[in-house]
Chains A and B, each alone.
Chain A
Amino acid sequence: MILELDNVELNFYNRSILNGIYLKAETGKITGILGSNGCGKTSLLEIIFGNITPKHKLIRIDNRPVFKPLYLSKSVKYLPQYFFLPSLKLRAIFKLFKVDWNNFILIFNTFKAYTNLNINKLSGGERRLIEVYLILKSKSDIVLLDEPFSHLAPLYIEKIKTILAEEKATKAIIITDHLYPHIIEMSEDIYLLKNGCSKKIESLIELEDYQYLSRGSMR
């Protein structure tokens, strides 16, 4: 499956946020989006998911234009930056997402004691881990991850990266995070957002040329 986003024009109060975007993501690949604060990374993911309606956009899946919000197709899962799960017991949340709780505690065995706990009783990092895991593991064709590594301990980040590598076999994954070494390491394709436009990065040194990273960072 190939997802393409094209001709995006997004303005907030006469301020142009996005104006020249082309992005392609496909099954079997992780597509990374990099860019400085406020460049429109989150807006881009929200446009794909269907949370934001821009002035113009064209979303194509396997060359067919999609006119309805993508979330209505149930083929896309979106991890926003904010906590989005309601106050429910962990087991109940896993049931709603049709994700196996036992498989989760096999990987993250410290959560075994939390089976009947309400998600609000967990720490911010633990909640984030649950959210990332659910979004990655629930049934979908497209996964949109907005800063999945924030709040996570290094050991959890490594485990999530392993799950990402497994899940990409059947999903098109689009990911953005300020922890850019992880994005660079995991992504097959990288796009840089700058001045409202997307630029496909062919060589990592371009990240310095476009002043996303300081000189010498990629050497």
Chain B
Amino acid sequence: MQQFLSILTFYRSFVLWSFVVNIILTIVNPQIFSAVITKLLLTVFVWYLVHETGAKRKLTFYKNLGISPLKLFSVLFFVDILITIIFLILIKEYI
């Protein structure tokens, strides 16, 4: 549970960007499959950015809690995709 909460603190800094992507997806192509693929590619891109820049240092906090980068970004992806799917279903329901 502590690990999951700490991963959520990492996700916090991406929430706004994720929401912006959700809005764009809703306008361009509100299909769940394309949303999954888009979010997967974006997660890989964020992983690359963190790994190749000074932001890599941020991972030390998570490693101290026993969380590997793979686990961090996997949970990040699944949390984000869950929120995205709920968002798209609700949007389809009401619009």
Contacts and interface: CB of A to CB of B under 8 A. Distances in A.
Interface of A: 49-51, 69, 71-74, 77-78, 80, 82, 84-86, 88, 95-98, 135, 138
Interface residues of B, number: 14
B61 A50 contact: no
A77 B64 CA distance: 5
Contacts of B9: 86, 88, 96
Interface string B5-28: 110011000000000000000000
B62 to A, nearest CB: 9
Contacts of A97: 64-65
Nearest to A140: B64
B63 A80 contact: no
B60 A96 contact: no
Contact of A50 (B5, B63, B65): B63
A73 B10 CA distance: 21
A72 B68 contact: yes
Given A86-B9, A88-B9, A96-B6, A78 B60 contact: yes
Given A84-B58, A84-B60, A71 B66 contact: yes
A78 B61 contact: no
